[in-house]
């Protein structure tokens, strides 16, 4: 397959900087699951022609210091996609997948209606739905985990009604009384970090949406994630069973706010959101 060339940008452009040869890489910041720019979750997106050394990818993600930086290369009819937090590679990231699809649709292949990615969590796809992008995720079955109830209550500082976990995308989920409890949660990040490799979501049935949540992953360099698509692969089946609905509207109650539309399928979960480009530039690496 011929390398896909971006519209108006050049990938892996070699420059001379003083006496050094450097590579300039295109770089974008896209606000995903957002209602406008400065909302939702900002993700770094770096399209590549070929993979750079893993240490370089991790250094770029650490330098960017966003929750995730996404890197992808052409792979057959789609792309191979990877995600890095400031400290490590992760198996799944919803908002950076949505952001990557946005760059494919707006810069690389504007005639596409859907894009397919190969990832550590298997094949993922994103389809256009008007102004919304619909992300197809694996469906994660929550497993009750009451043995961590005391740790979650100590780390979140709230009364937890029910606790469950997902091991494929390691996270604990704490169900609390109501939306206001989620909003007023003041976590002890040192306690939550000790639950590594698990992040922690706190959730409740909503008043301003069908359900609400917040998400903390301090051991991954993410004190609080503003809008997290991947946790909805577990929250959607959980709240579908509680609310007896297969389509729901979800809000993530971070300071930036996240807006998501969720749909439960037999084996998959669809999570839709909007995306807005905030920044376009270049990264310079040796």
The catalytic residues are: 68
Separation CA 56–CA 81 (nearest Å):
16
Separation CA 93–CA 229 (nearest Å):
7
Separation CA 133–CA 23 (nearest Å):
31
End-to-end CA distance of the chain, in Å? 28
Separation CA 231–CA 72 (nearest Å):
22
Separation CA 202–CA 215 (nearest Å):
6
Question: Contact, 146 vs 110, CB < 8 A?
Answer: no
CB-based contacts of 245: which residues, under 8 Å, 6+ apart?
210, 239
């Amino acid at each position: 397959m011929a390398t896909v060339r971006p519209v108006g940008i050049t990938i892996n452009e070699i420059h001379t900087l003083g006496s050094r040869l450097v590579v300039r890489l295109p770089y974008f910041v896209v606000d995903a699951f957002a209602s406008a720019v400065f909302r939702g979750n900002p993700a770094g997106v770096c399209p590549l022609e070929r993979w750079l050394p893993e240490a370089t990818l991790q250094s770029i993600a650490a330098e960017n210091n966003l929750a995730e930086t996404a890197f992808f290369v052409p792979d057959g009819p789609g792309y191979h996609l990877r995600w890095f937090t400031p400290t490590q590679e992760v198996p799944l990231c919803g908002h950076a997948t949505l952001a990557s699809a946005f760059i494919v649709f707006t810069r690389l292949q504007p005639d596409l209606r859907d894009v397919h990615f190969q990832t550590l969590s298997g094949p993922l796809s994103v389809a256009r739905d008007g102004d919304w992008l619909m992300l197809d995720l694996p469906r994660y079955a929550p497993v009750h985990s009451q043995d961590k109830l005391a740790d979650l209550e100590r780390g979140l500082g709230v009364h937890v009604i029910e606790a469950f976990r997902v091991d494929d995308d390691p996270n604990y989920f704490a169900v609390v009384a109501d939306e206001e409890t989620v909003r007023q949660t003041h976590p002890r990040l040192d306690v939550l970090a000790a639950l590594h490799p698990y992040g922690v979501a706190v959730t409740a049935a909503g008043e301003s949406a069908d359900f609400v949540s917040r998400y903390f992953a301090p051991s991954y360099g993410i004190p609080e994630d503003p809008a997290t698509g991947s946790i909805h692969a577990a929250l959607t089946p959980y709240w579908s069973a509680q609310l007896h609905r297969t389509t729901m509207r979800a809000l993530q109650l971070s300071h930036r706010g996240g807006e998501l539309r969720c749909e439960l399928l037999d084996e998959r979960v669809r999570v839709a959101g909007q995306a807005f480009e905030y920044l376009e530039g270049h990264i310079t690496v040796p």
